[in-house]
Amino acid sequence: MSYLVIARKYRPLNFEDVIGQEHVTTTLINAINNNKVHHAYIFTGPRGVGKTTVSRILAKALNCETGITPKPCGVCKNCKEIDLGNSLDVKEIDGASNRGIDEIRDLRDDIKFAPASCRKKIYIIDEVHMLTNQAFNALLKTLEEPPEHAIFIFATTEINEVPATILSRCQRHDFKRVSSNINSESLRNICTAEGVQIDDESLLLISRSGDGSVRDSQSILDQVIAYCGTTITIDQASEALGIPKIDIYFDLLDIVNEKNTGKLVEYIEKISSDGINFVSYIKGLLEFFRNMLVIQSTGNENLIDLTSESINKLKNYTSKYSDKDILFFLDLISKSNSKLKSSPFIRIEFEIILLKILHYAPVSKIEDILDKLTAVTGDFPVNLDDIISKLSIPVKTDRSVEKTDNAIVNTEIKTAVSEEKKKASDEIIISEPKAEVIEEKTQIEVLPEKTTTTSINISTILIKWENFVNNVSANMPNIGNMLFFSMPVGLNENILEIKFDPKHKIQRNLCETKIKELTNEFNSFFGMKNIKLQINEEIVNDNERILKIKNNQKKTQEEKRKDLLEISPELKFLFDDPFNCKFID
């Protein structure tokens, strides 16, 4: 006698045996019990999840000789004929090979006749989406008002290709992929019945390989049993299917942590010599990083199909990578996978993928970048002679003051500067720039102690502005550094207007967040009580500044890239996504 494969030998014979589709079987059982069976059903879902099997069970339930029952006997003539597929009244039609209008016309002629031995004449059309538009149109009227003895059951994996006119005449049931845990338990029962010993890891491997399809998983189990015999271990199962074990991915992470290119080359050679398919390896690696991301972001172990031992081991590695790093790996692998499948140099493409993972640069957090930006400083000038020369430009003192008053204001400023120059040191020491971002530590000689006054003008503020900024830097270093980018422009009704150039938006925003503290510092320094500060955004010319700013920051990666490509446009391929080329200082 010929061998009967597991997928056919253990095919469910009643609704209770169907796994993972309780939402469908419960509905059908209730419909049968309450005599509310529809005249047309459409079952949709992935392959191998029970659509045709449930169709046969429903046909038996309606035609069993013991009566209409959700638990057909399975031993009467009608049940046996339906199980064997040779019943005259239950016809299974392949929609792929009987897709034309002529076949549908034959069906319409046949449906008029009463059933030969069963209660109902049932037409099961598999892959119904393969019918032509003409065939669907010919079926519409019959499908909407079939004879009382006829029932249609359609099955399809592509529900979107079925016309809406057909869907509206059918009761739709969506079949789901079967979870690995449920599928593994079903495979365990089959192995017990077959006298096969198998470990949990092998069951999970087979279930995952089936990708939610019960039939595919059972076919894979058949293959593994043929290779391993009655005792199956994870090593044998992996070897039989050409699927790498999860341990091989942990070995990869160890090499990535060491940044050891030599070990990676040896690792790839071992994969190749073990006969592991590169595409299968990449598919498993993609799933491995996905599991890492799930564990790190949710901590829910039920969302991944791994043994408890593998999950605990995975948790030890997730702490070494941020979610952005893992997302980078997932994006890199998914984009490179299609190139790997089509490349004539598949091993080289495979090596490139793993080398990119090995030499990845950890993703910087935006918070860290902002912290660095807030500490940016440059060269701040500060010779009193320079200040005098810069104060010759018009200064806003009052919105109502005419331009003709600028000369008077300039004269007052120069006079005040001369007086201050006699009191202050001849020159303020200029801080030397450093290669990295540092806090400004400019040495200055403090001007004479401030005295309490009842009034102040913009001239005095401009003369003493640098000393005020350095005073703020001593008390609030970060905010003081930001004030070096400011420019006082007018004093009107006890409101001092300070402007920042639009390109220094970050510095302006930070000063605005500390406006209350800055106001207190200003009033304390100048001996005032009621002056308020108002920060605006307005273009500031370099020749207008009291404190000059030199941009000593290093060029960004983008600036360096543009400079390089202007010189050598042929090097553009180095920066094409996903090859993330970068400059190293």
Question: Which residues have CB under 8 Å from 151's CB, separation 6+?
Answer: 37, 38, 39, 40, 41, 62, 120, 121, 122, 123
Q: Which two tokens stand for residue 115?
A: 């059933």
Q: Which of 340, 281, 358, 345 is nearest to 580 (CA)?
A: 358
Identify whether 369 is part of a domain: no
My answer on whether 211 and 257 are in the same domain is: no
Q: Which of 136-145, 399-408, 427-436 has the highest mean pLDDT?
A: 136-145
CA–CA separation, 328 vs 325, rounded Å? Answer: 5
DSSP class of 550: B
My answer on whether 574 and 537 are in the same domain is: no
Identify whether 367 is part of a domain: no
- For CA atoms 157, 160, 162, 167, the dihedral sign is positive
pLDDT (0 to 100) of residue 43: 95
My answer on whether 405 and 525 are in the same domain is: yes
432 compared with 462, residue with greater pLDDT:
462
pLDDT tens digits, 414-431: 554 455 544 444 443 333
My answer on whether 291 and 388 are in the same domain is: no
483 compared with 445, residue with greater pLDDT:
483
My answer on whether 195 and 303 are in the same domain is: no
Does 79 score more than 80 pLDDT? yes
Identify whether 364 is part of a domain: no
Read off the pLDDT of each residue in 151-172 and give the average, rounded to a whole number. 93
pLDDT tens digits, 507-520: 888 888 888 888 88
Q: Answer with the one of 125, 141, 174 that is the final residue of a domain.
A: 174
Mean pLDDT of the chain: 80
Question: Which residues have CB under 8 Å from 206's CB, separation 6+?
Answer: 184, 187, 217, 220, 221, 224, 237, 241
My answer on whether 332 and 388 are in the same domain is: no
CATH number of the domain at 351, please.
1.20.272.10
What element of type H or E holds 497? strand 495-500
My answer on whether 385 and 531 are in the same domain is: yes
My answer on whether 419 and 338 are in the same domain is: no
Q: Residue 569: give the domain boundaries.
A: 556-585
Percent of the chain with pLDDT over 90: 30
CATH number of the domain at 136, please.
3.40.50.300
pLDDT (0 to 100) of residue 77: 92
Alpha helices in 46-199 (DSSP H): 51-63, 77-84, 101-110, 133-144, 164-167, 180-194
My answer on whether 527 and 390 are in the same domain is: yes
Read off the pLDDT of each residue in 382-397 and give the average, rounded to a whole number. 46
CATH number of the domain at 538, please.
3.30.300.180
Does 377 score more than 80 pLDDT? no
My answer on whether 119 and 24 are in the same domain is: yes
Read off the pLDDT of each residue in 30-42 and give the average, rounded to a whole number. 94
Q: Which of 184-193, 295-304, 545-554 has the highest mean pLDDT?
A: 184-193
- Residue 432 has phi, psi (to 5 degrees) of -85, 140
**Which strands, in side-by-side order, build the sheet including 90-94?**
90-94, 121-126, 150-156, 40-44, 171-174
Q: Which of 486, 451, 444 is nearest to 467 (CA)?
A: 444
Residue type at 10?
Y
> Is there a contact between 55 and 93 (Cβ–Cβ < 8 Å)?
no
> Is there a contact between 242 and 214 (Cβ–Cβ < 8 Å)?
no
Identify whether 551 is part of a domain: no
Identify whether 550 is part of a domain: no
Q: What's the distance, CA 528 to chain centroid?
A: 55
pLDDT band at 369 (very low <50, low <70, confident <90, very high): low
Q: Which of 536, 537, 525 is nearest to 495 (CA)?
A: 536
pLDDT (0 to 100) of residue 562: 78
Identify whether 110 is part of a domain: yes
My answer on whether 219 and 255 are in the same domain is: no
pLDDT (0 to 100) of residue 241: 84
Distance of CA 242 to CAs 220, 238, 276, 393, 521, Å?
A: 12, 6, 6, 79, 72
DSSP class of 13: -
> Is there a contact between 190 and 221 (Cβ–Cβ < 8 Å)?
yes
Residues paired with residue 91 on neighbouring β-strands, in sequence order: 123
pLDDT (0 to 100) of residue 57: 95
pLDDT (0 to 100) of residue 28: 95
pLDDT (0 to 100) of residue 525: 87
Q: Answer with the one of 358, 392, 425 that is the final residue of a domain.
A: 358
CA–CA separation, 482 vs 376, rounded Å? Answer: 8
Identify whether 366 is part of a domain: no
Identify whether 212 is part of a domain: yes
Does 196 score more than 60 pLDDT? yes
pLDDT (0 to 100) of residue 42: 95
CATH number of the domain at 220, please.
1.10.8.60
Q: Answer with the one of 127, 152, 174 that is the final residue of a domain.
A: 174
- Burial (Cβ within 10 Å: 0-12, 13-18, ≥19) of residue 313: middle
My answer on whether 55 and 186 are in the same domain is: no
Q: How many domains does the chain have?
A: 5
